[in-house]
Each structure stands twice: as structure tokens, then as C-alpha cells.
């Protein structure tokens, strides 16, 4: 499941209940969970495929507003084993309780539809994907301070997940395996949240794992070993975080597929969702990947930042940071040594608002894929930014 940075619920599966757009004066009831009433109050977007996204409020006794949550319908699996795996993935996400991880609170099954819904923590700010897109459009990458701060916060969250144990002290072996800009978001006060641990890999005993030929997550940020379907370790997430930080700090993706010819042969792997870069070309690029590729992308950055990225982006997992905590400490060390002023939540919130605003001014002048400059549902008016008169 994918967590968005607005409180929304996909409603394409229940048009009879939501045939007209809801509004704050005419909210639409969804369901009750433990005495809390969930109501859709605003239609945010109608996508090209007909899917509707609605803002959702939580109300407790006597209609008192308890806040906002993300309520998202999960596609109902077609087989028993797929349904079992889906439930286990949500249960795995329940275990994660860290300030830099967007928490999953409940899974609710609508009895009328026999449809599962996940209720998640609200994150009020933009995704990193939106910020990278806006920075690209305005012609200036996000700052080194921003990259160091976000990278360290994400690494801290990943280390927590990597080292989580069961109630009996048995390591759960969690690996996110989809660390990408789409799954990192900023809260309204600049706090960093890692999203979508629902598709994480885990060694949880008895867990129904994904089929061997299924690649989950965006392969554009996948580690070499994952693209080869070899064993996943915390170092796989370290590599993905390195790819993400290159994009944040340069406004360019580490891998350029335009120079790679389209491979005609069929791959034995199947991507779960449409990747942002072609799977077979990514596999070809990874076979030729070496430190020169990294240096070409980050050569203009400071020596200390380059050293961190080079270590994170080694093709051989054993040559990377041993843990995400090691990468976190290295990023914070660079920030302490290089930044003139401390950089934290307040600075990140201010920079994010400025970048989105500056990119938004140009969003009608620049073509940026089918969805425009910003990803679906993350246009300027939804990020709490002031509207022009």
C-alpha cells in the first residue's frame, strides 16, 4: 500500500455510497473503528482512470473532531495466499513505532463490500518526489543541508526497522526494499516520515513471502543484489538511500537509461508496479555500475558528501556502510563539519515551502510528464501554501 501526503481514500470501488462529491457541510460516512467515525469531507481529485481521492476526518463521541487520517482502500487479493500475505504485511507495519516512520494504526474490512482498508498516520506536507520535481523545474537542487538532514533522519528510521525484534527478542529481519522519493514525506513542521513499510521484506516466522519472480517497489532505486534477486540485507536499503540522496542533491537520477538499448529478450522478473525506469535497462545499467558512475553524478559536491555517497553506493554490499546507523552518523558528521548553521525541522519546512512555491510558479510553463510538474494529488494548493490573489 502507498501512503500519500494528504488524507485521502480511494473510492473507485464504492461509487454507490459516494455518488456525489462530499463537502464539509455534507460529509459522507465511511465506517466506524473502535468508536471513531471516519467521514470523507472533500473530493481532492478525480484521476484519469476514474479513481476518486477524498479527504477524511476522524470524529469521536458527540461528533468532536479528533483529527485527520489517511484511509486507503487496499486492493482485495484474488487468492487466499495473496490475501494472507496482504494481512501479514499490514500486521508487520503495525509493529513499527518510530518518530520518522508514518505509523499504520488499523486495518478495517468493510463488511458490505468485503473490502480491506488501512488507516494510517496523517502527514501534512509534500513527498520528497514533489520536492525533487519542484527543485528540478526551478533549476536549482535542494540544499546540501536539506539532503544531509533528510538522509540522516531516513537512515535512523531504517536502522530502527532493520534491528527490530519480536516479543521474544528474535530479529525480524525487516528491509524496506522501496526507499524512494515517493515514500519519504515531510510533515507540516519539517519532520521526516518514511512511508509504505507494508511491502517490506521480513524474516518473520511463518510469513507468506512474495513470489520469487516478483520485484516489489520502484526498480529505479533498487540495489544491485535486489535486481539480481539475491539475498536482501539492511545494506540494500543503504544503497537505495544513496540513490535517493544523489537525486535530492543534484536534481538528476543516478542512472541514465537513454543510452541503454532496449532489450528484446524477456525478463524472468515481474515488477509489481510500473517502475519509473525500465526494468531490463536498469538491470543492464547495474551490470556495468562502478564508482565512476557515482563520481560523474556527484563530482561537484563537497569531498565529505561524496565520500558518504561513494560508500553507500558500492556495488558489493560488503563494501557499503555496515548499517543504516553508520550512514546516519556519517551524514550527521558531515552536517556538523560543513554547515555554518544547524539544519533541522524548521529549516527543512521553510526550504520545502520555498521550493514548492518557486517550482509552482513555473509549473504551467514546463512539461513534466503526463501528471505535470507535481505527482497526482500534490499540486500547490494541497500543500498549505498561500494562494495568489
CATH number of the domain bearing residue 324: 1.10.510.10
Inform me whether the pLDDT recorded for 255 exceeds 50: yes
- Judged against a pLDDT cut of 90, whether residue 33 lies above it is answered with no
Asked if residues 166 and 172 have their Cβ atoms less than 8 Å apart, the reply is yes
Boundary (domain end) residue, out of 102, 120, 138: 120
Burial 153-166 (b: 16+ CB within 10 A, else e): bbbbbbbbbbebee
Q: Which pLDDT band, with edges at 50, 70 and 90, does 326 fall under? A: very high
**Is residue 227 domain-shared with residue 135, that is, in the same domain?**
yes
Q: Could you tell me if 103 and 179 lie in one domain?
A: no
Q: CA-CA distance, 186 to 348, in Å (whole number)? A: 8
* pLDDT class of 49 with cuts at 50, 70, 90: very low
Burial 257-267 (b: 16+ CB within 10 A, else e): beebeeeeeee
pLDDT of 337: 96
Both 313 and 202 in one domain: the answer is: yes
In the structure, what pLDDT confidence band is assigned to residue 65 with cuts at 50, 70 and 90? confident
Q: Find residue 37's DSSP bridge partners.
A: 32, 59
Is the pLDDT assigned to residue 272 strictly greater than 70?
A: no
Containing structural domain, residue 235: 128-338
206-215 confidence digits (pLDDT tens): 444 544 444 5
pLDDT at 15: 42
Cell of 198: 507494508
What is the Cα–Cα distance from 64 to 70, expressed in whole angstroms?
Answer: 18
Position 361 confidence tier, pLDDT thresholds 50, 70, 90: low
Asked if residue 275 and residue 324 are part of one domain, the reply reads yes
Q: Are residues 42 and 102 in the same domain?
A: yes
In a domain, 313, yes or no: yes
Q: Do 269 and 185 sit in the same domain of this protein?
A: yes
* Matching residue, cell 505509523: 103
Q: How far is CA 212 from CA 83, 103, 202, 216, 229, in A?
A: 17, 28, 14, 10, 8
Residues 104 and 95: their CA atoms lie apart, in Å, by 9
Same domain, 179 and 309: yes
Total structural domains within the chain: 2
Q: Among 66, 91, 120, where does a domain finish?
A: 120
Predicted confidence at residue 72, as pLDDT, reads 66
- In a domain? residue 170: yes
Q: Residue 226: is its pLDDT beyond 70?
A: yes
Say if residue 115 is in the same domain as residue 135.
no
Instruction: Based on the fold, state whether residues 103 and 168 are members of the same structural domain.
Output: no
> In this predicted structure, what is the pLDDT of residue 32?
81
Same domain for 185 and 288? yes
Amino acid at each position: 500500500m502507498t501512503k500519500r501526503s494528504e488524507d485521502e481514500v480511494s473510492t473507485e470501488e464504492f461509487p454507490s455510497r459516494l455518488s456525489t462529491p462530499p463537502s464539509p457541510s455534507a460529509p459522507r460516512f465511511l465506517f466506524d473503528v473502535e468508536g471513531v467515525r471516519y467521514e470523507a469531507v472533500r473530493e481532492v481529485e478525480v484521476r484519469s482512470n476514474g479513481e476518486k481521492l477524498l479527504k477524511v476526518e476522524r470524529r469521536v463521541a458527540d461528533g468532536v473532531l479528533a483529527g485527520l487520517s489517511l484511509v486507503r482502500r487496499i486492493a482485495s487479493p484474488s487468492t487466499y495466499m495473496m490475501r494472507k500475505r496482504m494481512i501479514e504485511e499490514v500486521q508487520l507495519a503495525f509493529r513499527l513505532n518510530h518518530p520518522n516512520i508514518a505509523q499504520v494504526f488499523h486495518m478495517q474490512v468493510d463488511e458490505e463490500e468485503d473490502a480491506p482498508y488501512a488507516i494510517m498516520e496523517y502527514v501534512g506536507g509534500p513527498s520528497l518526489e514533489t520536492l525533487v520535481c519542484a527543485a528540478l523545474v526551478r533549476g536549482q537542487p535542494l540544499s546540501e543541508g536539506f539532503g544531509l538532514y533528510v538522509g540522516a533522519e531516513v537512515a535512523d528510521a531504517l536502522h530502527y526497522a532493520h534491528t527490530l525484534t519480536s516479543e521474544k527478542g528474535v530479529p525480524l529481519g525487516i528491509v524496506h526494499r522501496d526507499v524512494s522519493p515517493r515514500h519519504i514525506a515531510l510533515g507540516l513542521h519539517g519532520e521526516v516520515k518514511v512511508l509504505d513499510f507494508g511491502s517490506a521484506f521480513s524474516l518473520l516466522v511463518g510469513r507468506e513471502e512474495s513470489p520469487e519472480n516478483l520485484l516489489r517497489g520502484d526498480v529505479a532505486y533498487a540495489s544491485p543484489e535486489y535486481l539480481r534477486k539475491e539475498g536482501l540485507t539492511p545494506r540494500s536499503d543503504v544503497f537505495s538511500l544513496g540513490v535517493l540522496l544523489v537525486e535530492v542533491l543534484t536534481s538528476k537520477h543516478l542512472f541514465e537509461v537513454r543510452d541503454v538499448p532496449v532489450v528484446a529478450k524477456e525478463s524472468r522478473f515481474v515488477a509489481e508496479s510500473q517502475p519509473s525506469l525500465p526494468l531490463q535497462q536498469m538491470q543492464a545499467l547495474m551490470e556495468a555500475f562502478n564508482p565512476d558512475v557515482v563520481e560523474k553524478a556527484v563530482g561537484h559536491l563537497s569531498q565529505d558528501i561524496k565520500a558518504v555517497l561513494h560508500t553507500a553506493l558500492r556495488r558489493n554490499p560488503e563494501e557499503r556502510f555496515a548499517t543504516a546507523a553508520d550512514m546516519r552518523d556519517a551524514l550527521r558528521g558531515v552536517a556538523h563539519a560543513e554547515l555554518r548553521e544547524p539544519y533541522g525541522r524548521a529549516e527543512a519546512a521553510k526550504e520545502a515551502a520555498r521550493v514548492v512555491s518557486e517550482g509552482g510558479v513555473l509549473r504551467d510553463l514546463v512539461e513534466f510528464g503526463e501528471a505535470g510538474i507535481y505527482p497526482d494529488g500534490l499540486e500547490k494548493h494541497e500543500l498549505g501554501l498561500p494562494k495568489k490573489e
